Structure 1
Amino acid sequence: MTLTSFGPANRIKRSAETHPLTWRLRDDGEAVWLDEYQAKNGYAAARKAFADMAQDDIVQTVKDSGLKGRGGAGFPTGVKWGLMPKDESINIRYLLCNADEMEPNTWKDRMLMEQLPHLLIEGMLISARALKTYRGYIFLRGEYTTAAKHLNRAVEEAKAAGLLGKNILGSGFDFELFVHTGAGRYICGEETALINSLEGRRANPRSKPPFPAAVGVWGKPTCVNNVETLCNVPAIIADGVDWYKSLAREGSEDMGTKLMGFSGKVKNPGLWELPFGVTGRELFEDYAGGMRDGYKLKCWQPGGAGTGFLLPEHLDAQMYAGGIAKVGTRMGTGLAMAVDDSVNMVSLLRNMEEFFARESCGFCTPCRDGLPWSVKLLRAIENGEGQAGDIETLLGLVGFLGPGKTFCAHAPGAVEPLGSAIKYFRPEFEAGIAPTRAVVPPLAKPIVAGA
């Protein structure tokens, strides 16, 4: 995993003015622990929030900044915070960090937790102050063992420094923070499935409403935010709304910067902090270096396996939610994947749908039965045993499992790449349909014994 500088060819160095998420990173890739983090202005934003800002002012500042969720859904963070109850008599509230990063082709949160664990803790501390939550949990993907180790060490460092626990910074505010490792289910990326899992229940999504802000963990008001989302909070508090908004490129409706990346057979696969509004072409050519010698770009996904495929001519789209929507799909997590010209799309989709079918919680029928059905059809087509009508059936499944047709967004995300692959590469699917077998017509009259 690499994280290079803001500008092409390393001409522009990371700085606090342009890289709120990554300017503190060490060149050797080692974690930034408490002493170094504080030497790099760490926890200054938390001290400002505790000393100089009312709790509602913190919420309003985040709302005014235009910060949106960085986990893929893109819901406005300040609006979500505003849903938490105002009733001061409710003294048990929770803040959950969604660190169950299981989206294929996505690894941005892992980098933040492994190398800048205190940035996440500071973001959660400020958020807890704003939301009046007394306890927080980092729900971490179980396979992220290094992140778990680093986060637990950072939590202990923060406790010893009086930045977590009782009477933080002499404010009278208490906040405990725990790292909870999950058992490894993709569905836990959905916030209510995450809550069920944290409670020790099966990881099924919950019916909404009520929303977690009203009835969340153990029935109490709860706010769930993504790792990268929470890591944006300290810079917003420290440097203000106008500065944060100025980071995005002209034309972008999303504010600030975003961790973006490219995987696949590109020359320089990696992860970079870039302003919203850069084009896919800049990301692909200037940062990822284009395709490796001998390979040609066939198509690409802009933000994880649950986003639709785009063609090379779509690279000029701006990388923000509305910009990617203009070319027919979603921004997702912002970590793109290049598909080279040696890849058969049927095989790729069969592999993807196998993952999504396996990770379905099984709660609702369209997802539970529809995704395995798509795998069965794709496997037959892949083996040259598809039947006439199979492609139409797959497209029917894309519609039946689309937005609003299932209990949560798992199935719509699973079939979005399938629909786009058939749209752009239908001949590859048609090539797997077996020739129609000759059918022997029935006899005109039944043969009667003895006739």
Structure 2
Amino acid sequence: MKAVVGLGSCGIAAGAGKVFEQFEKEIGAKNLNINLEITGCVGMCHLEPIVDIYDDEGNMHRYVKVPADKIAEFLDDILNKGKSEGYLISQIDKESQEKQVKIATGRCGYIDPEDIEEYLANGGYKAIEKCLKDLSPEEVIEEMKVSGLRGRGGAGFPTWFKWNAAYQQNETPKYMVCNADEGDPGAFMDRSILEGDPHNLIEGMMIGAYAIGSEEGIIYVRAEYPLAIKRLEKAMDQAREKGLLGKNILGMGFDFDMRIKAGAGAFVCGEETALIASLEGERGMPRLKPPFPAQKGYWAKPTNINNVETFANVPWIINNGGAAYAAMGTEKSKGTKVFALTGKIKKGGLVEVPMGIPIKDIIFDIGGGILNDKAFKAVQMGGPSGGCIPAELVDTSVDYESITKTGAIMGSGGMVVMDETTCMVEMAKFFLDFTRKESCGKCIHCRMGTKRMLEILERITEGEGKKGDIELLEYLAVQIKDGSLCGLGQTAPNPVLSTIRYFRDEYEAHINDKKCPSKQCKNLVTYTISEENCVGCTLCAKNCPVDAITGSRKEVHIIDQELCIKCGKCYDVCKFNAVIVE
């Protein structure tokens, strides 16, 4: 029997580390014949801690939300009855996994990310071996062209084109760089791959390096990902021990090694020239293009940069053929895409689906729908650089062109789901505040323009909006887009523009009526107590943090509007629907 505990960051945060420790104690104390192993995130973050039990016939039984303090009973039940019904994964959750097509995340949650032998046993490093034995660099690039793989970091630029541009350069050395910075709020696609299948990234980079003629790779990963860095370092050490990194790899005359650069978590370093500047020890600020990194990148040498998910698709493409990859997806958006589902969603986590699937299917079929069965309002795609797609466009196909038409972008794959209680003006303010803080300051339009836009949004949400504010936001947005050097500034106004486009009535209600339709902006809501519904239970008064509520027991209570801080605690605790929010 084998027990596998999911120890990705999400699992550890949910208590999987303690679950693993309790398994060790019980197995040791009772001398049980159980092999205890670890794995990464399988994508069902909402069900962590997850434990997979493999019986003696090799059948896998998945258990979810396994509590650390119940491991003794859990194990006893399994050993005596063969299964512990209370924690078995539901059929619905099983089906949500079966609706996905996993390529980049195919091994995540199933193999031990800290054991190269498991990667090798599951077809690992066969793709680079195939390249070195059977394919020339030109043929590798051609296979990538046939696959139609586009960069998964946000821009969606054809991978083969970037590789070919670097291959065509005669100057050496050449560098193969992985952007693993992942700065979007709510995004954790790359982190899960790094933690769950680090060798897949290494192999993908090796193939890219062979194609362009590079002998050195650099993984630029945010320092806030300590577990990912730890597992990457271990994977690289193991690969070197096996002769899969270093000199004369597989005895085929190919030299390639790599190292990790821990970044400080600057969002602007998602832009490739800013990332290169950071690698060189400079402040992360974008440079003019051309020359492009393929011509003059790291230390002015030919450099190729792709993100984690892009590289994670490469070994599969080489092993199965570019045509097999191109058979999935749409005409212009091939293959699969990994998304991080967060926000007001029942089943938050990681999903990988074929391009072309409707947004609706991801949110409702795989994600289980909206939390607490509230009405779906919008989904934010593309992070701070993206936009909000409203409920009426939920049938939009997930492909680069269709998403762009809505005013959002595919981005790296964040999906923040919003329900009827979300204030769209507040949401736009949140993302704009993020990009304002992350602006490197090089371009005055980005540095000052985002600040001015944020000030207007703050006024609107505080009840001080005025006529012409919407038009001024739209004017500033155009100026920022036109006057910014890099993608951060060029896309920073997107959340504001998209919310104005689809939710203009909310802006107008904030400005003209001094009301927040979603009842979220504190300065624009009023809490009162209904005389008809109040039974005088005193629960609201007892929970008010500023003693703004008065009234005797079994009498109608009153809220002092001058003292009320609009915290909503009275609304949350009232069991008789007596607290009214207007």
TM-score w.r.t. the length of structure 2 is 0.70
Q: Does 1:209 align with 2:290?
A: yes
User: 1:3 is matched with which residue?
Assistant: 43
1:124 counterpart (187, 192, 205): 205
User: 2:104 is matched with which residue?
Assistant: 21
Partner Cα separation in structure 1 for residue 327 and residue 319 of structure 2: 15
User: 1:445 is matched with which residue?
Assistant: none
One-letter amino acid matched to 1:266: I
One-letter amino acid matched to 2:129: R
User: 2:444 is matched with which residue?
Assistant: 365
CA 1:108/1:238 → structure 2, altered by over 3 Å: closer, same or farther? same
Asked if structure 1 preserves the Cα contact closer than 8 Å seen for 2:189 and 2:413, the reply is no
User: 2:214 is matched with which residue?
Assistant: 133
Partner Cα separation in structure 1 for residue 274 and residue 210 of structure 2: 25
1:321-400 matched pairs, under 5 angstroms? 321-400=400-479
1:54-133 matched pairs, under 5 angstroms? 54-86=136-168, 88=170, 90-133=171-214
Q: Does 1:46 align with 2:128?
A: yes
Partner Cα separation in structure 2 for residue 190 and residue 87 of structure 1: 22
Partner Cα separation in structure 1 for residue 169 and residue 335 of structure 2: 32
1:177 counterpart (239, 242, 258): 258
CA 1:326/1:377 → structure 2, altered by over 3 Å: closer, same or farther? closer
Q: Does 1:415 align with 2:493?
A: yes
Partner Cα separation in structure 1 for residue 98 and residue 191 of structure 2: 20
User: 1:243 is matched with which residue?
Assistant: 324
Partner Cα separation in structure 1 for residue 114 and residue 396 of structure 2: 35
SS in 1 for 2:166: coil
- C-alpha offsets along residues 321-371 of structure 1, whole Å, 9 cap, x if unaligned? 122234343222233111121122222222211111010010111101100
User: 2:249 is matched with which residue?
Assistant: 168
SS in 1 for 2:220: strand
1:303 counterpart (376, 379, 382): 382
Partner Cα separation in structure 2 for residue 242 and residue 13 of structure 1: 25
Asked if structure 2 preserves the Cα contact closer than 8 Å seen for 1:70 and 1:226, the reply is yes
How far has the Cα of 1:395 moved from its partner? 1.1
CA 1:244/1:181 → structure 2, altered by over 3 Å: closer, same or farther? same
Tell me how large the CA RMSD over aligned residues is. 2.2
Structure 2 gap ranges (5+): 1-9, 11-41, 45-88, 515-582
Asked if structure 1 preserves the Cα contact closer than 8 Å seen for 2:436 and 2:450, the reply is yes
SS in 2 for 1:214: coil
SS in 1 for 2:341: strand
- C-alpha offsets along residues 48-98 of structure 1, whole Å, 9 cap, x if unaligned? 01111111111111122101000110000001111115355x331101100
User: 1:159 is matched with which residue?
Assistant: 240
Asked if structure 1 preserves the Cα contact closer than 8 Å seen for 2:167 and 2:213, the reply is no
Percent identity, aligned pairs only, is 40
Asked if structure 2 preserves the Cα contact closer than 8 Å seen for 1:85 and 1:214, the reply is no
Asked if structure 2 preserves the Cα contact closer than 8 Å seen for 1:8 and 1:287, the reply is no
One-letter amino acid matched to 1:421: T
Which of the two has higher C-alpha Rg? 2
Partner Cα separation in structure 2 for residue 333 and residue 87 of structure 1: 28
SS in 1 for 2:503: helix
Asked if structure 2 preserves the Cα contact closer than 8 Å seen for 1:105 and 1:305, the reply is no
SS in 1 for 2:511: coil
One-letter amino acid matched to 1:19: K
CA 1:30/1:162 → structure 2, altered by over 3 Å: closer, same or farther? closer
1:276 counterpart (325, 350, 355): 355
One-letter amino acid matched to 1:3: G
User: 1:219 is matched with which residue?
Assistant: 300
One-letter amino acid matched to 1:413: T
Q: Please identify runs of 4+ aligned residues in structure 1 that moved more than 4 A.
A: 12-15
Partner Cα separation in structure 2 for residue 326 and residue 137 of structure 1: 35
User: 2:229 is matched with which residue?
Assistant: 148
Return the structure number with greater strand share. Answer: 2
- C-alpha offsets along residues 207-254 of structure 1, whole Å, 9 cap, x if unaligned? 100111111111111011111001111011111012111222xx4521
CA 1:240/1:367 → structure 2, altered by over 3 Å: closer, same or farther? same
One-letter amino acid matched to 1:91: T
Q: Does 1:318 align with 2:397?
A: yes
One-letter amino acid matched to 1:208: K
2:371 counterpart (288, 292, 296): 292
Asked if structure 2 preserves the Cα contact closer than 8 Å seen for 1:385 and 1:434, the reply is no
One-letter amino acid matched to 1:410: L
Moved more, 159-168 or 261-270: 261-270
Structure 1 gap ranges (5+): 437-451
- C-alpha offsets along residues 168-192 of structure 1, whole Å, 9 cap, x if unaligned? 1112221120011001200000000
Partner Cα separation in structure 1 for residue 373 and residue 108 of structure 2: 34
Count of matched residue positions in the alignment of Structure 1 and Structure 2: 429
How far has the Cα of 1:13 moved from its partner? 6.6
User: 1:255 is matched with which residue?
Assistant: 334
TM-score w.r.t. the length of structure 1 is 0.90
CA 1:310/1:369 → structure 2, altered by over 3 Å: closer, same or farther? same
- C-alpha offsets along residues 349-397 of structure 1, whole Å, 9 cap, x if unaligned? 2221111101001011110110011111111111111232222111111
- C-alpha offsets along residues 384-411 of structure 1, whole Å, 9 cap, x if unaligned? 1123222211111121122x43101112
Asked if structure 2 preserves the Cα contact closer than 8 Å seen for 1:205 and 1:408, the reply is yes
Q: Does 1:231 align with 2:320?
A: no
Asked if structure 1 preserves the Cα contact closer than 8 Å seen for 2:446 and 2:483, the reply is no
Partner Cα separation in structure 2 for residue 326 and residue 185 of structure 1: 28
CA 1:19/1:217 → structure 2, altered by over 3 Å: closer, same or farther? same
Asked if structure 2 preserves the Cα contact closer than 8 Å seen for 1:298 and 1:339, the reply is yes
